[in-house]
Amino acid sequence: MYTIGVLGLQGAFREHIRSIEASGGKAVTIKRPEQLNEIDGLIIPGGESTTMRRLIDKYGFMEPLRQFTSSRKPVFGTCAGLIILASEIVGYEEGHLAVMDIKVERNSFGRQRESFEADLTITGVGDHFTGVFIRAPHIVEAGENVEVLSKHNGRIVAARQGHLLGCSFHPELTDDHRMTQLFLEMVKESKEKASA
């Protein structure tokens, strides 16, 4: 069994815990940087990225998170978590973790559409995945090593770059656990590679 941590500083972390358990993984809420040593993969949940960043700094997570990402253990950022991973954020001078070669725009589906659901086709996951978008960002540009996994109305809403996975929507808010299962597959692959 693989142990997946969910960064538990702010946002929708409890729902991810439930989705990991429903997918057959062991889930741990990460509240202290040392706990990163115990996990095989990490999910950075949705919430509010500027608040999450403030808490990342306050609780000394910045350097440990960078180290975790460079250890090549898989990391999955959803919604605000995607913004935390992005190397560039439209309108901001610097990214947060800035480890994934993507440019994101925050709250980019318009104020009148604060939240909505969309029927998505996602590479590696399948068809008819209900994406729950809540003040969601989208990926404006993706680097050449980034594989685009899904688009909604021409906008990139899911992508993968090696061991990094990101999406604009909240996959943990439905009972469809296919996106979490894709992440668990990535964790399995990375562990097999590490022990080969």
Ligand X SMILES: NC(=O)CC[C@H](N)C(=O)O
What span, in angstroms and rounded, lies between the C-alpha atoms of 39 and 14? Answer: 17
- Which region among 26-34, 77-85, 91-99, 158-166 touches ligand X (by CB under 6 A)? 77-85
Residue 79, beta-bridge partner list: none
Instruction: Please pick, among 152, 163, 172, 177, the residue that the annotation labels catalytic.
Output: 172
Which one of residues 5, 8, 41, 47 is an interface residue with ligand X (CB under 6 A)?
47
The answer to whether residue 46 forms part of the interface with ligand X (CB under 6 A) is yes
Give the active site residue among 79, 96, 138, 163. Answer: 79
Strand partners, 131: 118
Residue 72 is labelled as binding a ligand: no
Annotated binding residue 189: no
Q: Which of 10, 19, 23, 49 binds ligand X (CB under 6 A)?
A: 49
Nearer to ligand X among residue 107 and residue 123 (C-beta):
107
Q: Which stretch binds ligand X (CB under 6 A): 26-34, 36-44, 45-53, 93-101?
A: 45-53
**If binding is defined by CB under 6 A, does position 135 make contact with ligand X?**
yes
Contact between 56 and ligand X per CB under 6 A: no
What DSSP string describes 145-185?
A: TPEEEEEETTEEEEEEETTEEEESS-GGGSS--HHHHHHHH
Burial of 32-54, coded b for 16+ CB within 10 Å and e otherwise, reads ebebbeebbbbbbbbbebeebbe
CA-based nearest residue to 182, from 157, 156, 159: 159
CB of 75 to ligand X, least distance (A): 16
Query: Does residue 88 belong to the site contacting ligand X (CB under 6 A)?
Result: no
CB 170 within 8 A of CB 79: yes
Q: What is the Cβ-side half-sphere exposure of residue 118, based on CA atoms within 13 angstroms?
A: 21
Query: Tokens for 150?
Result: 């899904």
CB of 169 to ligand X, least distance (A): 8
* Nearest distance from C-beta of residue 150 to ligand X, angstroms: 17
Q: Is 174 exposed, middle or buried (0-12, 13-18, 19+ CB in 10 A)?
A: middle
Amino acid at 149: L
79 tagged catalytic: yes
Among 16, 96, 106, 177, binds ligand X (CB under 6 A): 106
Could you give the residue numbers annotated as active site?
A: 79, 170, 172
Binding-site residue positions for L-glutamine? 47-49, 106, 134-135
